[in-house]
Amino acid sequence: MSTTEQIHPIKDVWLRPRRVFRELATQPIGATDYLLAAAQGLATTVTLYRTQPAASGFTAGEILGSACIFGPLGGILSLYVFGAIYRRLGQRAGGKSVRNQVFHVLAYGGVPVATSLVLWIFTALLVGEAAIVEKPAVEVDGFVGFVLHAQLVAYVFLWFWSIVLQVMGFSEILGLATRKAFAVWVLGQVLWLLAWLFLGVLVTILFPGLVPPTPH
């Protein structure tokens, strides 16, 4: 295959991530990076609401409103936080990269997760409010339950595919073996989780009234 073939990053990253990240290596962070990060944040937020029984105390409109506000903001903020974490970890692991390359890996490597929004919209059109609000099993018929489970399985598959793309991306831009790049990815996720837990505890202690009680 000719190396001069034009690359379409969002389409080609699914099967040719290394080539895509090589092409993006010299390009600055752009609007597409932020749009992909926002879409990932929205998809993840909607899925979290859908799988949390506590969210059943809210209406579909409240959940959608919250997800549309905090999802994209969280996705973009995560891009910056993970970007800083992985750039530092990559350097400690002996790799070489610059800020824009790490951003591209996180944004374009998350294309499968961003694409899961399409599946969620299709599911919502098919089964209605049940795609947004967790309902008791007795209120969900067999067809609706099958569609919801299929949508969740598809999201998990796309999430794992995003992990594969990001690991391969870090391997490419950092010049690390795939196994070592995967270790860097895992460590970055652990550090993010610890930071998130610490922030949650700190906010709860300093601003006890800021976090609303769990609905019954």
- CA nearest to 28, candidates 102, 88, 84, 135: 102
How many structural domains comprise the chain?
1
Q: What angle do CA 17, 153, 197 make, to 5 degrees?
A: 80
Whether residue 102 is contained in a domain is answered as: yes
Whether residue 213 is contained in a domain is answered as: no
Whether residue 126 is contained in a domain is answered as: yes
User: Domain range spanning residue 131?
Assistant: 10-206
| pLDDT tens over the chain, length 216 residues | 445 678 889 999 999 999 999 999 899 999 999 999 999 999 988 888 777 665 556 677 777 888 888 889 989 998 999 999 999 898 888 877 788 999 999 999 999 999 998 888 888 888 877 777 766 554 567 777 788 888 889 999 999 999 999 999 999 998 889 999 999 999 999 988 887 787 767 767 766 654 444 444
Whether residue 3 is contained in a domain is answered as: no
What is the structure's pLDDT at 2? 47
Whether residue 214 is contained in a domain is answered as: no
Query: Residue 18 and residue 20: Cα distance in Å, rounded?
Result: 5
What is the structure's pLDDT at 216? 42
Whether residue 64 is contained in a domain is answered as: yes
- Measured from the Cβ of residue 126, the count of other Cβ atoms closer than 10 Å reads 14
What is the structure's pLDDT at 203? 64
